[in-house]
């Protein structure tokens, strides 16, 4: 019994002190870009479930890089800041913590200028974008409001290597909507691939603690019933 109590206490403390990277549910449609992918097929414009712009397409294995499955999102920048990308939007409320993470790859070395790929969280009051407020992971951009993921896909990135990136923050006052972007900023020509993107609200630490305590209680009851 003492062991069960100790395990319960450890679970609660762990839940309360864990970092905020856990996403309860991935709210994104087609997060791995599998819907339009067909093995060995040519790129298809856009991506189901995403609002895309610029030179954006779904690419398929085995002719194009994928992190998992057979599909990925390709963003091709022609230079002069055409900024191709895609996004999805969802209802949100002030004070909620949201996380955005995924993988990026460039097939060729990128120049050491404003040519880079990233994920971005953008809050909105329904009419205009809001300043980012509290940033847990990533960096704030006030000129083009939002939380930008780190690290960027840029000149420091190793070509043909998938790179993890993440952004996380708290919705500021006035928020009614959150949008999740995959972007390729292109001062110079370049290409970025994106795959396995996850976005969702981060559970409160107290909720995670209660869930952990409930699991421990269930385990304790199971042990008692087993001894009878």
Asked whether residue 112 falls in the same domain as residue 32, the answer is yes
Q: Domain residues for 13?
A: 1-21+204-228
Q: What is the pLDDT of residue 172?
A: 98
Asked whether residue 164 falls in the same domain as residue 219, the answer is no
Q: Average the pLDDT over 197-225 and give the result.
A: 59
CB 214 within 8 A of CB 91: no
Q: What is the pLDDT of residue 205?
A: 66
Region at 83 (left for phi over 0; alpha for psi -120 to 50; beta for the rest): left
Asked whether residue 27 falls in the same domain as residue 10, the answer is no
Q: What is the pLDDT of residue 23?
A: 65
DSSP 8-class letter at 150: B
Q: What is the pLDDT of residue 161?
A: 98
Asked whether residue 5 falls in the same domain as residue 56, the answer is no
Q: What is the pLDDT of residue 204?
A: 77
Asked whether residue 132 falls in the same domain as residue 47, the answer is yes
Q: Average the pLDDT over 185-194 and give the result.
A: 98
Highest mean pLDDT among 10-14, 180-184, 214-218: 180-184
Q: What is the pLDDT of residue 22?
A: 58
Residues 6+ away with beta carbon under 8 Å from 56: 45, 46, 47, 73, 74, 75, 76, 84, 85, 86
Asked whether residue 198 falls in the same domain as residue 226, the answer is no
Q: How many domains would you assign to the chain?
A: 2
Asked whether residue 109 falls in the same domain as residue 159, the answer is yes
pTM of the predicted model, to two decimals? Answer: 0.83
Q: What is the pLDDT of residue 5?
A: 44
CB 164 within 8 A of CB 197: no
Q: What is the pLDDT of residue 73?
A: 98
Asked whether residue 228 falls in the same domain as residue 179, the answer is no
Please write the tens of the pLDDT for every residue from 121-154: 999 999 999 999 999 999 999 999 999 999 999 9
Asked whether residue 29 falls in the same domain as residue 9, the answer is no
Asked whether residue 146 falls in the same domain as residue 161, the answer is yes
Phi, psi for residue 74 in degrees, rounded to 5: -110, 130
Portion of the chain with pLDDT greater than 70, in percent:
79
Asked whether residue 162 falls in the same domain as residue 225, the answer is no
Asked whether residue 114 falls in the same domain as residue 225, the answer is no
| CATH label of the domain that carries residue 78 | 2.60.120.260
Identify the sign of the CA torsion 51, 147, 129, 106: negative
The whole-chain average pLDDT of the chain stands at 87
pLDDT > 50? residue 12: no
Q: Average the pLDDT over 179-195 and give the result.
A: 98
pLDDT > 80? residue 18: no
Cα 161 from Cα 109, distance rounded (Å): 11
Q: What is the pLDDT of residue 224?
A: 53
């Amino acid at each position: 019994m003492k062991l069960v109590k100790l395990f319960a206490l450890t679970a609660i403390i762990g839940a309360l002190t864990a970092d905020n990277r856990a996403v309860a549910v991935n709210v994104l449609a087609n997060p791995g870009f599998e819907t339009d992918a067909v093995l060995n097929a040519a790129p298809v414009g856009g991506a189901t479930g995403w609002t895309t712009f610029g030179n954006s397409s779904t690419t398929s294995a085995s002719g194009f890089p994928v992190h998992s499955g057979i599909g990925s999102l390709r963003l091709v920048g022609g230079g002069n800041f055409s900024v191709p990308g895609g996004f999805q939007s969802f209802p949100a409320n002030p004070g909620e913590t949201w996380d955005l993470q995924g993988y990026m790859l460039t097939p060729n070395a990128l120049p050491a200028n404003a040519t880079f790929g990233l994920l971005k969280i953008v809050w909105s009051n329904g009419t205009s974008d809001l300043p980012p407020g509290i940033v847990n992971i990533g960096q704030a951009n006030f000129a083009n409001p939002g939380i930008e993921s780190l690290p960027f896909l840029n000149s420091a990135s190793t070509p043909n290597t998938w790179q993890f990136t993440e952004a996380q923050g708290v919705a500021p006052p006035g928020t009614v909507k959150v949008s999740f972007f995959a972007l390729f900023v292109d001062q110079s020509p370049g290409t970025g691939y994106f795959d396995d993107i996850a976005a969702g609200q981060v559970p409160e630490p107290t909720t995670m603690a209660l869930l952990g305590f409930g699991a421990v209680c269930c385990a304790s009851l199971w042990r008692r019933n087993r001894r009878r």
